Amino acid sequence: MKSFEYLTPRSIEEATDILNKYGNEAKIIAGGTDLIVQMKAGSVCPSYIVDIKYIDALNRLDLDENGSMHIGAAVILSRIVDSGIVKNKFPMLHQACSLIGSDQIRNRATLCGNICNAAPSADSAPPLLCLGARALVADQKGMRTIALEKFFRGPGHTVLKPGQILVGIEVPKMADRSSSHYIRLTTREEMDIAMVGVASFISLTTRDKVCNDIKIALGAVSPTPILVSQMEAAFKGKPITIESIEHAGEMAAGCCIPISDMRASAEYRREMVKVLTRRTLTSICADLGIQS
């Protein structure tokens, strides 16, 4: 691992100035659980490390007046797991974050780092996609908001350009009469990477069993985490039934592009998308007190 200069900006403006000055020679570090591994392997060799955890604005974890949650780029995963806000208001995200790594990893790693690493198997991504999360991106021109489904470009690649920084994630308030659930398939229960991950969300109208909104997001079965297209158009305004749950599983499986590798075949992954979609939706129906 080659030598580098370690920089500790105290504001977003100072951080973006540094990134703009050094371009591709600079890398951001918050937790470092991915970056340090890449540096030791020699796949990443920055001349400047920009540590953002000392920026107060990036350590926010709170709700705004509309009930939306803000998670700053320096907020570690264990803080999210321990947060009553996340556990009570966004239980699917709490569930997913508790699955990432070990206690030691969660005490260092950040949610935004997990997103910026852009692994197709990232556990946090499908729940955030289902919840309609938005990425807050800053550069020298100011701040802009990007829908998370447009943030990922491919394995290890995002829309971020040199000089830009993901400063946080915004998660809108969950609708009334709604529920969500995330399931991942792994060989081991702990310290493993998802072979398949499925997150689902349903909100109901004032009439029992009638779908007002539905979202299903998949991980580890496409080059990026994906939000299943056309799901809302197919189910909004219709009752949630056993048949519709089966159909949702088929739709989800038809939208993914799995690969075969040493961990699972493409055919197995596609079949498990069907299974896990049905399981997440069935769990949501139980939470909402409806018989599918």
167 and 108 housed in the same domain: yes
Tokens of 281: 């939706």
pTM of the model: 0.95
The last residue of a domain, from among 171, 206, 233? 171
How many Cβ atoms from other residues are within 10 Å of residue 275's Cβ? Answer: 15
pLDDT at res. 263:
87
pLDDT single digits (tens) 58-114: 999 999 999 999 999 999 999 999 999 999 999 999 999 999 999 999 999 999 999
202 and 166 housed in the same domain: no
Please report whether residue 61 resides in a domain.
yes
Q: How far apart are CA 81 and CA 79, in angstroms?
A: 5
Q: How far apart are CA 141 and CA 68, in angstroms?
A: 25
Identify the CATH number of the domain in which residue 264 sits: 3.30.390.50
The last residue of a domain, from among 132, 147, 171? 171
Neighbour-count burial of 289, counting CB atoms closer than 10 A to its CB (0-12 exposed, 13-18 middle, 19+ buried): exposed
pLDDT single digits (tens) 172-205: 999 999 999 999 999 877 678 999 999 999 999 9
For residue 93, the SS3 value is helix
pLDDT single digits (tens) 223-242: 999 999 889 889 999 999 99
134 and 202 housed in the same domain: no
The last residue of a domain, from among 148, 171, 194? 171
User: Which carries the bigger pLDDT value, residue 263 or residue 14?
Assistant: 14
How many domains does the chain divide into?
A: 2
Question: Can you give the residue range of the structural domain that contains 147?
Answer: 5-171
